[in-house]
Structure 1
Amino acid sequence: MSHVPQIRIPATYMRGGTSKGVFFRLQDLPPAAQTPGPARDALLLRVIGSPDPYAKQIDGMGGATSSTSKTVIVAPASKPGHDIDYLFGQVSIDSAFVDWSGNCGNLSAAVGSFAISNGLVDAGRIPRDGIATVRIWQANIGKTIIAHVPITNGEVQETGDFELDGVTFPAAEVQLEFLDPAADEGDGGGAMFPTGNLVDELEVPGIGTFKATLINAGIPTIFVNAADIGYTGTELQGAINSDPAALARFETIRAYGAVRMGLIEHIDQAAGRQHTPKVAFVAAPASYTASSGKPVKAEDVDLLVRALSMGKLHHAMMGTAAVAIGTAAAIPGTLVNLAAGGGARSAVRFGHPSGTLRVGAEASGEGGQWTVTKAIMSRSARVLMEGWVRVPGDSF
């Protein structure tokens, strides 16, 4: 019996923020995978090692968590005023599904570096020493991201002393600007607050009715008060992810919230939209010990936030959810803003399972309508491995 040999595809394995994934140039993908569709999805599933009923992704590049089951495709810019297009695919671990419904804010930190190193940014725009500004078109959601990438001797600088909670080693700081992060084109409901309210009463059959802030900013997110669902906001991954009943409740909340936001028409459709919306719970500042053993003092944060991604509590914070947090915190009256003490603010530092993170947002309101011009945060990125990824030639 004959078998089709493996093929190899140029790829780079990168960490961006508290996530990592496999990066491709569009032009390097096999022709059948250069356009959206079943072939592309099948290829990326095989690269990552999904679907895996063992939930380990042993036969692929994935790390069997939402933070490490990711793919990125970068191409020359299709939009005027941009350097590149960036498309993100969140790969399911145990099912044959790639979710294209949202962005990954963490991997956004690596996109500019990857583009520079792979010749996708005009060399005339790269200083010998200093900061390269890379204008990124985020194709999933139709938004602009500006990455400020440090350059030394004409090459991307990856090492440095910038520390990011949730990442073990320091690296070079990459500042990101998410321009006009609200009302994403690909996110259904359209407006920043799709219901028109800063706070809604969200009815979830079998669980209860509680206050929720439903926001489209960075990524569609459902914010609820920790106390309303039986938590303190100081929980680490083990407290949530080891409790199947808790995970099922969060998924039910997510499904009903998605319907209320206009992202899906019926709760049964939530399974086909795993990456968005996110669900998060917030609380006022309190002291706790982070997963690394680092103490987080109440006086060092403005509020506490815990968020779930792909059905599990995230070990730190998704970058896009951080944009949603910063945006909601800047708007008086949202649950996020109230947990932080209320009032006007242009930045917020929140506690998450791995430590703390600061994110800023510029918001303005008139006649009850709010706009956010940009959200700003710092991450870091590093190439972990580069060369070729191999997959069986008949796998897509």
Structure 2
Amino acid sequence: MPHVPQVKIPATYIRGGTSKGVFFRLQDLPERCQVPGAARDKLFMRVIGSPDPYSAHIDGMGGATSSTSKCVILSKSSQPEHDVDYLYGQISIDKAFVDWSGNCGNLSTAAGSFAIHAGLVDPSRIPDNGTCVVRIWQANIQKTIIAHVPVTNGQVQETGDFELDGVTFPAAEIVLEFLDPSDDGEEGGSMFPTGNLVDDLEVPGVGTFKATMISAGIPTVFVNAEDIGYKGTELREAINGDPEQLARFEKIRVAGALRMGLIKTPEEAATRQHTPKIAFVSPPKDYLTSSGKEVKAGDVDLLVRALSMGKLHHAMMGTAAVAIGTAAAVPGTLVNIAAGGGERTAVRFGHPSGTLRVGAEARQVDGEWTVTKAIMSRSSRILMEGWVRVPGDSF
């Protein structure tokens, strides 16, 4: 019986922040995958190795976690005053779907450096030595991201001494600016979709919890750690090994998605796992990170733990960090209260792998809260480049 041979597609495997993914130039994809649709989704699933009932991604490029099951497409921008269009796909590990509903803040870092590396930025805008300002159009959520990428001898500088908790080795620092990150293109246009800074969120079969629901960076549902039986110092093992608790978090996430107007029925949540995120906050406490490093209560303003694709994240998603920084800047949210209340333009929070500082400027306009910019530092490094191979009949 004849079998269709594999095809090879130019690709680059990149770590961005605390995530990594397979990056493609739009022009390098097979023609039928250059447009949205089933062929593109099937290709990306096969590249990553999903769906995998073993949740191991042995036969693909994925790492069987939400942080490592990602694909990115970049192309020259169709938007004025932008360099590149950046489209992000979160690939489900054990189910056959690709979630296009949000952004990956960590891979936004890699999008800036890959844009230069892949020849998608006008050479006249790239200094021989210094910083290249890459203007990125985030196509999933219709927002602008500015990446400040270090350049040495006309090439992206990837090595350096910037340390990012959750990443083992240091690298060059890349500063990211998320411009006007609220709303994320969802209907309604409000940073707080319910109209409230804090709501009583009723979760069928679980209970009612205080919740701050915000669309900034990525739609996120924040609850108090204490209200759901946690301290806020938990590491992955304490939650990811408990199916009952994961199921409870999913019920809270679904209830939040309904209140935020992201879905119309609970069933829709099954195909929208990437958004909203669910996170729990607490005031500062001493704890040991997953690497054994000690974080003192005085080192941080608050503690945050967040779930991505149904599991507790090993560090913090970049887009969720934007949501944290934005919510912290608005007096009266659960995040702001956990951080001690009052007005602030930056916050340092503790996560399972360490700490992260994110800045945000929020203000009220005609009674509505809005955020003009959120800023944080990440790093990026190419791990491998060449071609990724997939069976020719898989897409």
Q: Give the TM-score of the pair, scaled to structure 2.
A: 0.99
Q: CA deviation at 1:366?
A: 4.2
Secondary structure of 1:86's counterpart equals strand
Q: Deviations over 1:24-82 (max 9, x none)?
A: 00000000000000000000000000000111011000000000000000011011010
- Which residue in 1 is equivalent to 2:150? 150
Output aligned runs, 1:298-313, within 5 Å. 298-313=297-312
Residue 368 (structure 1) shift: 3.2
Supply the AA of the counterpart residue of 1:122. D
Residue type of the alignment partner of 1:353: P
* Partners of 1:112 and 1:318 in 2: CA distance: 17
State the 1:85 CA deviation: 0.1
C-alpha displacement of 1:189: 4.3
Q: Secondary structure at the match of 1:116?
A: helix
Distance in 2, matches of 1:357 and 1:138, equals 23
Q: Secondary structure at the match of 2:379?
A: strand
Amino acid at match of 2:353: S
In the alignment, what sits opposite 2:56?
56
User: Pairwise CA RMSD of aligned residues?
Assistant: 0.6
- Is structure 2 residue 211 aligned with structure 1 residue 212? yes
Deviations 1:222-260 (A, max 9, x none): 000000000010000000001000000000000010000
Displacement of 1:267 after TM fit? Answer: 1.1
- Cα deviations by residue, 1:268-310 (Å, 9 ceiling, x for unpaired): 1110101000000000000000000000000000000000000
Offset of residue 190 of structure 1: 2.5
1:139 aligns with 2:139: yes
Aligned equivalents of 1:297, 1:181: Cα separation in 2: 31
| Structure 2 residue 279 is matched with structure 1 residue 277 | no
State how many pairs are aligned.
395
Question: 1: CA distance between counterparts of 2:138 and 2:365?
Answer: 28
| Paired position in structure 2 for 1:346 | 345
Amino acid at match of 1:43: L
Matched, 1:159 2:177: no
Give the structure 2 partner of residue 109 of structure 1: 109
Determine the structure 2 residue equivalent to 1:46.
46
1:23 aligns with 2:23: yes
1:184 corresponding residue in structure 2: 184
Distance 1:189 1:284 in 2: 31
The separation in 2 between residues aligned to 1:228 and 1:351, in whole angstroms, is: 19
Opposite residue 308 of structure 2, the aligned amino acid is S
Give the match's secondary structure for 1:171.
coil
Q: Gapped runs of 5+ residues in structure 1?
A: none
Q: What amino acid does structure 2 have at the position aligned with 1:58? A: I
Give the secondary structure class of the aligned counterpart of 2:96: coil
Residues 189 and 261, structure 1, Cα contact 8 Å, conserved in 2: no
Aligned to 2:122: 122
Distance in 1, matches of 2:393 and 2:365, equals 57
- 1:262 is matched with 261
Greater mean deviation of Cα atoms: 363-372 or 134-143: 363-372
User: What amino acid does structure 2 have at the position aligned with 1:351?
Assistant: G
Whole-angstrom distance in 2 between the partners of 1:363 and 1:311: 30
In the TM superposition, what is the alpha-carbon distance from 1:188 to its structure 2 partner?
A: 3.6
Tell me the amino acid that sits aligned with residue 9 of structure 2.
I
Residue aligning to 1:73 = 73
Aligned-partner Cα distance in 2 for 1:366–1:14? 39
- Aligned partner of residue 372 in structure 2, secondary structure: strand
* Cα distance in 1 between the residues matched to 2:91 and 2:326: 27
Q: Secondary structure at the match of 1:247?
A: helix
SS of the residue corresponding to residue 20 of structure 2 reads strand
- Percent sequence identity is 77
CA contact (8 A) 1:223 1:282 kept: yes
Contact 1:189-1:263 at 8 Å conserved across structures: no
Q: CA deviation at 1:136?
A: 0.1
Say whether the 8 Å CA contact 2:192–2:213 is kept in structure 1.
Answer: yes
Alpha-carbon distance in structure 2 between the residues aligned to 1:43 and 1:16: 22
